[in-house]
Amino acid sequence: MKSYLTLLKVIAVIVLSFIICQFIPVSSPTALAVFLSIVILWFTEMIPLPITGLMVPCFCVGFGLLTTKEAFGAFGNQIIFLFIGSFILAKAMEKHGWDKRMAYFFLTRNIGPTSLNGIVFFIGIICWALSMWISNTAACAIMVPIALGLLRSMEDLEEQTKKSFQIKMLLTCAFASSIGGVATPVGSPPNMLALQFLQQQNIDITFFKWMILALPLSLAMLFALIAILNKVHPLKEQTLKLNDINELFKSKYEQLGPMKKAERQITFCFFLAVIFWITPGLFKSLAPELEITSFLSARFSMGMVALFSALILFLLKDEEGNANLSWTEGQQIDWGTIFIFGGGLCLGSMLDKTGIAAEIGRILFQFDGQSLILPTLIIIFTGIVLSEFSSNTASAALLIPLILGALETGSFDDSVSIQLTVAASLGASFGFMLPVSTPPNAIIYGTGKVPLKSMVKTGILFDFSGLLLIFLFSLLIFPLLL
């Protein structure tokens, strides 16, 4: 009987959702029931999140809410291939240690810190910068062993100082890794969801435009994090032996040996991707009337650039004549996130087509056409709360279609849609209170060196500061940049 328990629970969720929704006065109770079922399954994690994502198109087609082409077309979206290309690049970096080499390279520079607080800030900067281009999980996974190794080298610290330094540095690794991801479209799944949902509304945001909006906010979040950590986990200013610290990281860096051919190939592919992600948007901002601007925008979409840059790695050979990345290794990317993402796009299309997004959105976000202050605050708060208890991808996939659906009922211009959608995606990336909120949180909690009380206390303060920063940027800064 136990082997069927999960199946019975899932069936019960679906049946109860359909029964409840029959008594709710909406245009499509079936669509609402599918939405409610997916919400419950995603938040309870009764079954793996990717499996729930794959159930979405099955439900949509099975209940006649979308055609087969509409439902499964979400999984062929160019943004999906932006994900796949980015994940393949990150896999190659991980395989050859390129990402770790970059971290050690910056840590060995003479611009490094000479105090405990300075080290924390420097570690935070590196986590933040890495997570713009690789997953926040990978950035944190790289830096946590480095941080722990640094702690082991400081035997002369007082026990209490060492404990506070340990907690502060590990929290910085986790939180800064998540913050950096909001700065670029490829840094965090909610960013890409926001871009795609806006594109479905015929609103195009380039890679460059996203960075103009989100990079300053991301940097402000990093400084807010350092300020909060200095307040919650104060450290006595203590001058350290800079030579000892530099020697520690130099020895780590030297252990990697000279840069290998495979790493040089990855460097080329990575910068190729970055250049062609940014260039079309840069031309569009500076010279929209030039013919080359139209050419770049039409030919170099973010998905195409990511995929092409990644595919080159399968063709290049290292010193030993082996492929830089084999297909067996390429298959090991995070397909689960891709399935959640595709399911989210499909769910959004269904909510939009059936009109349920507009109906739910009107209830949750009442836009009076005059002021966006309260709706913006509610949207960001909802995104943060959802992300504390569920995947940030799932949170954004549920929230953004409702916002865009509600905006369709009013006479709002595109800038409002961009403003609120970006705010929602940023809020969905801002879960810091619990170990389950983000993979980086789980990583540092798993070390056994960060008490849950410290994570919750710091996370609550950081969530609140994030709410305030996103709110201020959304209302005061974004309108000036759009």
pTM for the predicted model, two decimal places: 0.77
**Tokens coding 105:** 């390279």
**Tokens coding 341:** 């993402």
pLDDT score, position 265: 92
Give burial (CB, 10 Å; 0-12/13-18/19+) of 389.
Answer: middle
Per-residue pLDDT reduced to its tens digit, 233-249: 887 665 555 555 666 67
pLDDT score, position 264: 92
pLDDT, mean of residues 125-133? 87
How remote is the C-alpha of 305 from its chain's centroid?
A: 19
pLDDT score, position 370: 60
Dihedral in degrees, nearest 10, Cα atoms 226, 161, 439, 42:
-90
Three-class secondary structure assignment of the chain: CHHHHHHHHHHHHHHHHHHHHCCCCCCCHHHHHHHHHHHHHHHHCCCCHHHHHHHHHHHHHHCCCCCHHHHHHHHHCHHHHHHHHHHHHHHHHHHHCHHHHHHHHHHCCCCCCCEHHHHHHHHHHHHHHHCCCCCHHHHHHHHHHHHHHHHHCCCCCCHHHHHHHHHHHHHHHHHHHHHHHHHCCCCCHHHHHHHHHHHHCCCCCCHHHHHHHHHHHHHHHHHHHHHHHHHHCCCCCCECCHHHHHHHHHHHHHHCCCCCHHHHHHHHHHHHHHHHHHHHHHHHHHCCCCHHHHHHHHHCCHHHHHHHHHHHHHHCECCCCCECCCHHHHCCCCHHHHHHHHHHHHHHHHHHHHCHHHHHHHHHCCCCCCCCHHHHHHHHHHHHHHHHHCCHHHHHHHHHHHHHHHHCCCCCCHHHHHHHHHHHHHHHCCCCCCCCCCHHHHHHHHCCCCCHHHHHHHHHHHHHHHHHHHHHHHHHHHHHHC
Asked which of 86-95, 131-140, 217-226, 315-324 is least confident by mean pLDDT, the reply is: 131-140
pLDDT score, position 100: 76
Dihedral in degrees, nearest 10, Cα atoms 418, 424, 425, 427:
140
Give me the residue spans of the domains in the chain: 79-330
79 pLDDT above the threshold of 80? no
pLDDT score, position 278: 84
> Among candidates 480, 478, 463, 476, which has minimal Cα distance to 380?
463
Q: Which range scores top for mean pLDDT: 54-58, 162-166, 363-367?
A: 54-58
